[in-house]
Structure 1
Amino acid sequence: MVALLLLPFTLFAQQGNPAGMITGRVSDSLSHKPLDFITVTALAETGNPLASTYTNTDGVYTLTLKYNGPVRLVYSFIGYAKTEVTVQLNANQQTLQVKEIHLAPNLKNLDEVKIMAARKLLVQKPGMLIYNAGNDASNKGGTAADVLRKAPVLSVDARGNVTMRGSSNIKILVDGKYSGQMARSPADALNMMPADVIQSVEVITTPSAKYDAEGAAGVINIITKKGGKKLSGALEAAASNWEQVLNPRLAVANKKWNINANAHLHRLRMKSESDYQRNNIDNGTINSVLNQYIVRDNVAPHGSASVTVDYAADSLNQLSFGVTSWFGNWPDNSRLNSRVTQPDGTILEQYNQAVFSRGKYLGADFNIGYIHKFKKPGQELNLLAQISPSRDNSNYQSGQTSLADALLYKELNNSLTKNRELTFQADYFQPIGNSNKYTLESGAKIISRKVSNNYEVFGSTDADPNVLQPIAGRTNLFNYKQDVVAGYLILKFNLPGNWYAETGARVEGTFLKGEFQSGSEPFSRNFANIVPTATISKKISDAQTLNLSYTKRLTRPYIWDLNPNVNASDPKNITTGNPTLQPEIAHQGELSYSIAFNSGLSFNPAVFWKQTNNSIEDITVVGADGISVTSKQNLAANRQFGLNLSATIPLTSKWGLNTNTNVTRLDFKSTALQIISNGWGAEFNINTTYKLPHALSLQAFGSYNTRTITLQGYQTRNYYYSFAAKKEITSQKITLTLATVNPFTKAVKQTAVVRSSSFYSSSLNREYNQAIKLTVGWEFGKLFKQTESKKIENDDVKGQKKG
């Protein structure tokens, strides 16, 4: 296969150098990212057309023409101002290199429709949709979770847990790099990132071979804002009945240096209630009933800080360095009333329980990168390295009491997790032949992870419930090592008739080792995966594009899924890891269409299909003792297909609307458990903004999810809505935003049902997030502009779903 991929390279390298060749590169003036599908037209002095082409995915174009004299080059694309330059092509000059062209967003109607005319909110590219969050004024004062609620294809619940087309197996990157904070807990990390630092969100539904194969549903890449002027910055403060936030930002830049720093301090209160009932079944007959009422009310102080430094030694060489740290305490205190009865209501067991927990964590990502651009447009070498140390110190102490407050049982679970991750990556981009219509991308990557979890559990006895004794069977030291070696190769073709195609493959070798200090036997597993990807795209016109993509994905379990430390804070419903867990593999394809007009109107429909084998699912079993145990297992497969539609609609010059719709059919099948579960689900959201005089605007957002099918049951509907008013004091560069979340709903209710032949459980959950929030933002210096520096992209491990 590699030989076949390299064959075009051999053939094109043998081609001659045609006369009259004009080549160059086009990029966005704000993001400095290369722009693909830009139409480039060559005109004679008289205005007669000589030749026409469009840029490839690296922003590179090549025109071949037989002409001697001045040539007018016109660059055009929907949403950007038309740009024209004049060059001189001489008869004895075979190749003319044009200076890089920076296209500016179309600001024609900036005063009336700033958001829609400055830059489209939604942009479609092969295999991905881009949500330009920096152009959505309604994001002021929110978090990254609020931003992702408005991004296409995604769904975010009240706690910040993200799913893509119904799956939570997503890899979330920040500026294209692995984030230890996201890997630890995506929901927590998203609630720690302020919305105001986010420039755009790339929702990559069919990642190419360049990306790590991990992330069965896809990849989310959050692009943050960078400074582009000598000195700029911002200070944002927000307060509500549930949270208090402070977000400072500072950027300093000159011709060679670009330094950006930001911090986030956040105090978040979370409250929820649950009514849980489980019928335990034996041979089709209910033999006992468990009823629980659980209240959680926690305050989580946390924060993060990051500094990035980019140094351009010259036009061909760039160095970058970055450090991001995060810290905080994410407790999970609860009060529980538990009662076990016979079917006729006779009480068998009854107690109250209080759980006091601590979730302290500290971590950092240190990365360094080097980019070398060759004189030939599109030829580039990237070298990247990153180290990510972190520690997570968590524990819980539970106490069971009788209804008369007599102590029955105490338990203490201490857990210390230390993680160290090293990553080295190299990527090379080589245009093939002299026409630059073909590009070869290749790269290699090494990831080394070492994780240890030292856990010890103490419990009391019936004889003396006040004295804690070590529980040897639940105390251990778990060491886990995971090494990944990968390489990839991609060929990109810019074909006649505005066709584009790319094909590639990634080979990954994974080496796992796990050992325990005592008890369980050590384990090791080695496996290799070949991950093919392919995309074909047709640019029908400047406004219309059609894409067809295929990719193979896998999901590796991480220590959170493997760790056998039992969480028995609820002794009737315990959870544990599974050291024998295997990776899951998914095949997925997508057909998408995009149409956009100068008015700002755009539609992005897509149909998709995904087949997941050996899928990792939460499995709950109930023993004869009436205790349920939940862990992840490879006992099922699932098939998914559906439609998603994203649209931006300018209703008037002052009123705009954007909406996302996902409709999905999900089929689960487990031969081992004898389960077949299937059904349709849908997700809708709508976001609208209306501009009033005197720099005042109103915004409304709402999302609604229908019933969601799971392997062992389903979750009922849930919804989220908000309203906001924003006032800009332009002379002082101050923005005031008053927002309300779920103003007519004290608590959002959702029921989760889990069932098997031995039990039927139903949990009615109420999330309290009714809020009113005031945000004050002040900016100094010029408005933030987006620059780009290469970072590590470790998107290959499954993050822990928390929040």
Structure 2
Amino acid sequence: MRKTFLITLLLLSINTFAQRPQRPQGQERQPIKITGTVLDKDNGDPLEYATLVLQSVDNPEKVTGGISDIDGKFSVETLPGKYNISVEYISYKTYKLPNQLLKESTDLGTIKLALDVAQLEGVEVVGEKTTVEVRLDKKIYNIGKDLTTSGATISDALNNVPSVNVDVEGAISLRGNENVRILINGKPSALAGFGSTDALRELPADAIEKVEVITSPSARYDAEGTAGILNIVLKREKTLGFNGSVSVNIGYPSQSSMSVNANLRTDKFNVFNTLGYRYYESPGHAFYENSYNDGQYDQINENRDYTRSGKGFNNNFGVEYFFNEKSSLTGSFFMRFQDGDDLTENYSDYFESGLLTRKSFREEIELEDEENYQFSLNYVNNIDDDGQKLTADLQYSNGDEVENSTIDDNNTFPNTSLNTLESIYQNEIEDEYLVQADYVLPMGDAQFEVGYRGTFEREITDYKLDSLNRSTNQFVTNEDLTNKFNYQENVNALYTQYGNKFGKFSFLAGLRLENTQLKGEVTSDFDTSAIEDALGEDVDLNFDKNYLGLFPTLNLIFEIGEMENISLGYNRRINRPRGRFINPFPSRASRANIFQGNPDLDPAYSNSFDLGYLKRWDKLTLTSSVYYKRETNSFEYIQEATGQTTTDSVRIIRSLPINLSSNERIGAEAGVLYNPKKWLRLNGSVNFFQFSSEGEHNGTDYGTDNTSWFARFSSKVSLPEKIEWQTNAFYMGPRQNSQTETKGMLSLNLAFSKDIMKDKGTVSLNVSDLLNSRKRQSYTVSDDFTSRSEFQFRPRSINLSFRYRINQSKDRDRKNGRGENENGGGEDEMEG
């Protein structure tokens, strides 16, 4: 049974294209075609994805074959010769024809397969274990069976992946470190919002095939991201014919969405398309208690209510054309439109010497209009049957986001009066070009790889703030805040890596050379001296910096046995400050709180080690690792008083990113996948880490020591009547940085699903944050003030979804994988 499963996956992974036996020198042989039809013996139904295996008798290592289409028919080209022929289908008895001499094209006729009852229970167990695959440089998680992601977004789905955490504001961290690189299909993408995670909150989780957690990236990947890489692989069918799915979702608080996935595959081309629409209303709440050491007010309390609404449309369309069985060209186009309408209501109480002396009400209305486009070309040439391969990529991405905000701040006690009325306009335009080429050369058991990648980004931020002059009743431009900032980041990289296997020992060693250019230019019609004074005389608002770095990587695996191995990884990586971190002009979260970028920021560098252990039993899989990371020149947010006050005497606090001297992170994580019964699956993981940093700024020591942990648990139960029940729990332990302590947080999700319409449809009901406990509670201390806060991005939500599959049975996911088995490996597929 296990051998059958592996052969099936192998044939799917080569897309039904046969590996041709080597032709003896001097002998020309023309391919012949082997055809036939596979049916169920009991009911005569065609068996889609049945496997035809042709094994050479003279050279048993040469195996070719293909799979049947929706009508049970197969057609495979091979060279004349003597073959052992078998037709296999998981949970059916194998049909065999040994020692067949094939001289010309042959029709094997109708082949009827009978159920193998003895294998049925084993198939169910294997299907339930196709959730994790371990490679030399990454772990692959299939989230396709996660019921709690039905109707959810990509951001929600990531929060169910081990080692990953998505906080209440959507910030993504890996092993507790937010400096993680997000890739889509192995490349930076407009789908990921140019490094921002906002777009991931709009795209449907149904579009994801798998998530690759790369904590020890090889030299093939960008050196960006000191925490590592999350690579989100989107679905694309590789099976012949037309297939697809339609998903419809409604929920409370008010939300609705629809997504359509469609795929048409022929011998010469593959057309794929994902279309999605989403409308949402998302309320939220925050509370801040700020105490000041001096100034007019010794305490200010803020209660904020958020009402966010918006609608988004996205479409990803592509065509893959096959020049021949070895080479293809894929062109794809992605577009995303997002309109947002956010209302923030802030009720503030002001205290002097402990007495309430004033109240105010602040209303902010923000209208957002965002557009993203991406064009991609990908060329693949599998030069020979030994694995020699050449790939080339061209990609252009564009993002245009316009925000118009109106801020109305009024006193409500002891009298009613206008504090300020402001109008803010902000336009961010981003362009990114990517050029990449990779070449792979197998050398026996070894493999050599070399490549180039160039990414060229430009970001223009146009910011304007107008305030109402109460004496003239006219709007006046705030010259200190209005600006236009042009930022460029150009990275050219060359890499090479070599891998080999000696018995039970495998290694992959690589070296990446990257040149980084960071350029910033301020365009302003007003005097910038106030900005320069605030940042310091040594800071240049217009800069052109260049960095050249070598980034070695090494990944080792030792196979203790077939079901057990030890891995060791080392890598050096970089953290480049993005445009918002460098833009010197302040932007306002409120009148009393501003964020200011620091153009004096330099990249941070890290060296990381990861020691892993994997052990598999019949019904249990254990993955674990111990890791250490040291980062130099790291940067972190600090909060400090500016020495300025608003027109009503409120002290203005500034958030500023700075380079700290260094930080260290050491931790351990473990994950367990346990299938005690065929109807029960348990999955749990825990990550414990210690973080310490040192450094000072403006005479203040920002060093800190912090110990924290997070854990998740998931159970999935198969109930009668094709009902499945899943529970996901996540706990983030208390943590702290140089200024802020954050309390622990528990989140619980619950979901049910039922197959209907002869398994072509699935109805799902899920509740996110069942206990309504996903709230961030923190306490900040500085030399000038203290702040206690609670923030909830969105409350408990309920979602009902329906998914209908077209020529796409649910059993395909469980038994046969998707085309190239992009769902992740099963128990027998984990690699050492």
Q: TM-score range by the shorter chain?
A: 0.7 to 0.9
User: Which residue of the partner structure matches residue 45 of structure 2?
Assistant: none
From 591, 603, 609, give the equivalent of 2:611: 591
Q: Deviations over 1:575-632 (max 9, x none)?
A: 1222222211111110111122343x21101111111111121111123342111122
Further displaced range: 100-109 or 187-196? 100-109
Give the root-mean-square deviation of aligned CA atoms. Answer: 3.0
| Matching residue within 132, 136, 140 for 1:130 | 140
Q: Of the candidates 573, 583, 586, which is equivalent to residue 563 of structure 1?
A: 583
Contact 2:55-2:63 within 8 A present in 1 as well:
no
Shift of 1:559: 1.5
2:629 aligns with 610
Structure 1 residues 189-588: aligned runs within 5 Å: 189-227=199-237, 228-242=239-253, 243-281=255-293, 288-345=298-355, 347=357, 350-403=359-412, 404-432=415-443, 436-464=444-472, 466-495=473-502, 497-518=503-524, 519=527, 521-588=541-608
**Correspondences of 1:80-229 after superposition (within 5 Å):** 86-89=55-58, 99=64, 114=124, 117=127, 119-184=129-194, 186-227=196-237, 228-229=239-240
Q: Tell me: CA distance 1:423–1:167, structure 2 relative to 1, closer, same or farther (3 Å).
A: same
The match for 2:668 is: 643
CA change 1:375–1:732 in 2 (3 A) is closer
- The match for 2:638 among 605, 609, 619 is 619
Deviation at 1:453, TM superposition (A): 1.5
The alpha carbon displacement at 1:467 in A equals 2.3
Retained in 1: the 8 A contact 2:364–2:408?
A: yes
Name the structure 2 match of 1:777: 803
Structure 1 contact 707–716 (Cα < 8 Å) conserved: yes
How many Å separate the matches in 1 of 2:8 and 2:665? 37
Q: Equivalent residue for 1:72?
A: none
- Indicate yes or no: 2:753 matched with 1:729: no
Task: For 2:265, give the aligned amino acid.
Answer: A
Task: Give the aligned residue type for 1:620.
Answer: Q
Q: Is structure 2 residue 777 aligned with structure 1 residue 751?
A: yes
Secondary structure of the residue aligned to 2:159 is: helix
Q: 2:680 aligns with which of 655, 658, 673?
A: 655
Question: Which 5+ residue runs of structure 1 have no aligned equivalent?
Answer: 1-24, 35-58, 63-80, 791-803
Question: Structure 2 CA distance, aligned partners of 1:659 and 1:105?
Answer: 33
8 Å CA contact 2:778, 2:789 repeated in 1: yes
Structure of greater Rg: 2
Cα separation, 2, equivalents of 1:128 and 1:735: 32
Structure 2: give runs of 5+ residues left out of the alignment.
Answer: 1-5, 23-49, 68-86, 92-117, 529-540, 645-650, 823-832
1:632 aligns with 2:657: yes
Contact 2:446–2:498, Cα closer than 8 Å, also in 1? yes
2:763 maps to amino acid: L
1: CA distance, partners of 2:554 / 2:639 = 38
Query: Judging changes above 3 Å, is the alpha-carbon distance between structure 1 residues 695 and 764 closer, same or farther for their aligned structure 2 residues?
Result: same
Q: Is the 8 A contact 1:27 1:101 kept in 2?
A: no
Q: Secondary structure at the match of 2:441?
A: strand
User: For residues 30 and 781 of structure 1, what CA distance do their matches in structure 2 show?
Assistant: 20
Please, which moves more after superposition, 673-682 or 101-110? Answer: 101-110
Alignment-mate amino acid for residue 513 of structure 1: K
Aligned partner of 2:173: which letter? T
CA distance in 2, matches of 1:542, 1:260: 38
Quick check: 1:113–1:654 contact (8 Å CA) kept in 2? no
**C-alpha deviation, 1:229, in angstroms:** 3.2
Q: Distance in 2 between matches of 1:26 and 1:562?
A: 53
Change in Cα spacing, 1:449 to 1:789, as seen in structure 2 (3 Å) is farther
Secondary structure (helix, strand or coil) at the match of 1:472 reads: coil
Q: Is the Cα–Cα contact under 8 Å of residues 53 and 63 in structure 2 kept in the other structure? A: no
Decide whether the 8 Å contact of 1:124 with 1:604 is kept in 2.
no
TM-score, normalized by length of structure 1? 0.83
Q: What is the aligned partner in structure 2 of residue 15 from structure 1?
A: none
Separation in 1, partners of 2:120, 2:291:
61
Q: 2:747 aligns with which of 710, 717, 720?
A: 720
Greater relative CO (CA pairs within 8 A, separation 6+)? 1
TM-score (norm 2): 0.80
Matched to 1:606, the amino acid is S
Q: Check if 1:32 corresponds to 2:43.
A: no
Report the identity percentage.
22
User: Which moved further from structure 2: 541-550 or 184-193?
Assistant: 184-193
3-state SS of 1:196 partner: helix
Q: Within 1, Cα distance between the matches of 2:818 and 2:277?
A: 23
Q: Specify the SS of the correspondent of 1:407.
A: strand
Separation in structure 1 between the aligned mates of residue 656 and residue 126 of structure 2, nearest angstrom: 47
Deviation at 1:338, TM superposition (A): 2.5
**How far 1:777 sits from its partner (Å)?**
0.9
